[in-house]
Amino acid sequence: MKLNKNSLLKKILLLLMVFLLIAAINPLTNYANKTKKSILVLNSYHYGMQWTNNVVNGIYSEFDTISSNLVIHTEYLDTKNFSSDSYFEKLYQLYQYKYSNNRPDVIICSDDDAFNFLLKYRESLFPNIPLVFCGINNLETYQNKLENNITGVVESFDLTSTIEVAKKLQPNIKNVFVINDFSITGQENVATVKKNIEHNNYNLNFTFSKKSSIAELINDINKLPDDTMVLLMTFNKDNLGQV
């Protein structure tokens, strides 16, 4: 379940305004005295993905209404298509070249892949620059990695309410088949669902999709008994690399 887009963007905007104010009054930061403030938006996924487009368009439209004294740079990691260690290393080298003399005042990152990238490379790429995240699925994973100048909005889903609605629509439900891919986001979803199961008495049998092609997944769904609820969460890439 995605957060309401308008609510999410308002929270991001508020956090950014606080960070920009801090940057502007901090005499120890080299970038505080620039005429224009610079924001880097680092997206996990590609241009054209609806969620990513909504986040980026919302950021631009919100800041356009409040200030003309901002420069926004947007980058896309495209991790639905590329996600190897060597690929991330090349991106690191590219951003090091692009931003070594053009440091942003604040960074916004959307979703887990961009956040993980920044946790790994931020100290050398963008030291001491405030970071605002959105779309992170399980913040507990990062608790020991968060610094004072990192904040943001967590993406969450209400499994209990979802099941309650499903039971009202189909009272005979006895099983839940949870679908996720094996991306970082997908596996964070699995961990969150399992944690919910441990702390709630749903009186349902939960099973989880395995690594498979889209065709194999469809075949598995077709074999499910009629008393099964299918919970589709994140499935953007199968084990054959099809997006």
Name the token pair of 94. Answer: 């590219």
**pTM of the complete model:** 0.74
pLDDT score recorded for residue 14: 59
What pLDDT score does 58 carry? 87
For 148-195, how does the pLDDT look when each residue is reduced to its tens digit (9 = 90+)? 788 888 877 889 999 999 999 999 999 999 999 988 888 889 998 999
Are residues 63 and 70 in contact, defined by beta-carbon separation less than 8 angstroms? yes
How distant, in Å, are the alpha carbons of 26, 80, 87, 118 from that of 93? 29, 20, 10, 13
What is the distance between the alpha carbons of residues 46 and 36, in angstroms, rounded to a whole number?
27
Ranges of the chain with pLDDT below 70 = 1-34, 67, 243
Per-residue pLDDT, 69: 81
Distance CA(199)–CA(119), nearest Å, equals: 30
Q: Copy the structure tokens of residue 17.
A: 């305004």
Q: What is the pLDDT of residue 114?
A: 96
Provide the strand spans (E) within 91-156.
106-110, 131-136, 150-154
Q: How far apart are CA 45 and CA 76, in angstroms?
A: 6
Overall fold of domain 5-154: Rossmann fold (3.40.50)
Please tell me the predicted confidence (pLDDT) of residue 62: 79
Please tell me the distance from the alpha carbon of residue 226 to that of residue 213, in angstroms, as a whole number.
23
